[in-house]
């Protein structure tokens, strides 16, 4: 009863944010996918190209995800850049900033405040910064079924292999292979993810909920 009432109260705001995102997409020339759920105000800047797959959920406010979102999701594609997001992707307070290319596979989960940058934004040497020289950029690829836990940062040139998991708070500076749990600063492979990680596997150390 309470749950339905809470849902009913939130209904106008869902429609409001949906409508405001539709206007933003139209102004920025980004194609609206078949199913897009937007909760809260989205930041969108598409001088380059942004492509979204189907069934995407974008959460932008901590009242819709209590894991601790600290800013609305930002999707940015700079001049000549491409940001491509696959199907069934969920994100909460993410900052995804493409100056060359960022590709996110299907079924990827981006935990609260995930940051994915394919650029350093500024050059290392101060004289280059003073001269306004461009920063280094390198394409980022996040494989399908990857999960980035809360507060993970992915830096330029990184490729995360399919089905891997990056532990909370990690900073990833180099490639992570498929099917790995990785974590730390800089992130290193901690172990392989195997069938033993399944809840219903006989060797699982986890409590079987079934």
| Active site residues per annotation | 122
Residue 170 interacts with ligand COA (CB under 6 A): yes or no: yes
First to last CA, the chain: 28
Tokens of 89: 């992707």
The string of DSSP codes covering 127-180 is HHHHHTPPPPB--EEE-TT-EE-TT-EE-TT-EEPTT-EE-TT-EE-S-B-TTE
Show the site string, 45-74: x = touches ligand COA by CB under 6 A, - = not: ----------------------x-------
Residue 183 interacts with ligand COA (CB under 6 A): yes or no: yes
Residue 111 interacts with ligand COA (CB under 6 A): yes or no: yes
**Smallest distance from ligand COA to CB 119, Å:** 25
In which residue are the tokens 């994100």 written? 91
The closest residue (CB) to ligand COA is 111
Pairing type for strands 180-183 and 188-192 reads antiparallel
57: enclosing H helix or E strand: strand 56-59
Pick 77 or 187: Cβ nearer ligand COA: 187
Residue 112 interacts with ligand COA (CB under 6 A): yes or no: yes
Q: Kindly list the residues in this chain that would bind ligand COA in the complex (CB under 6 A).
A: 67, 111-112, 149-150, 165, 167-170, 181, 183-184, 190
């Amino acid at each position: 009863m309470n749950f339905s009432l809470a849902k009913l109260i939130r209904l106008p705001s869902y429609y409001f944010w949906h409508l405001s995102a539709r206007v933003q997409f139209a102004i920025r020339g980004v194609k609206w996918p078949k199913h897009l759920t937007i909760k809260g105000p989205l930041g969108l800047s598409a001088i380059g190209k942004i492509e979204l797959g189907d069934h995407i959920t974008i959460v932008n406010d901590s009242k819709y995800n209590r894991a601790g979102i600290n800013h609305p999701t930002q999707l940015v594609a700079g001049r000549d850049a491409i940001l491509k997001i696959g199907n069934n992707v969920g994100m909460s307070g993410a900052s995804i900033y493409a100056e060359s290319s960022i590709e996110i596979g299907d079924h990827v989960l981006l935990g609260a405040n995930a940051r994915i940058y394919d650029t350093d934004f500024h050059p290392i040497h101060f004289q280059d910064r003073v001269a306004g020289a461009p920063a280094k950029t390198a394409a980022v690829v996040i494989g399908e079924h990857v999960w980035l836990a809360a507060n993970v940062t992915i830096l330029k040139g990184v490729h995360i292999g399919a089905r891997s998991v990056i532990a909370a708070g990690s900073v990833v500076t180099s490639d992570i292979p498929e099917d790995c749990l990785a974590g730390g600063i800089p992130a290193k492979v901690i172990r392989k993810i195997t069938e033993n990680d399944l809840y219903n596997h006989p060797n699982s150390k986890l409590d079987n909920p079934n």
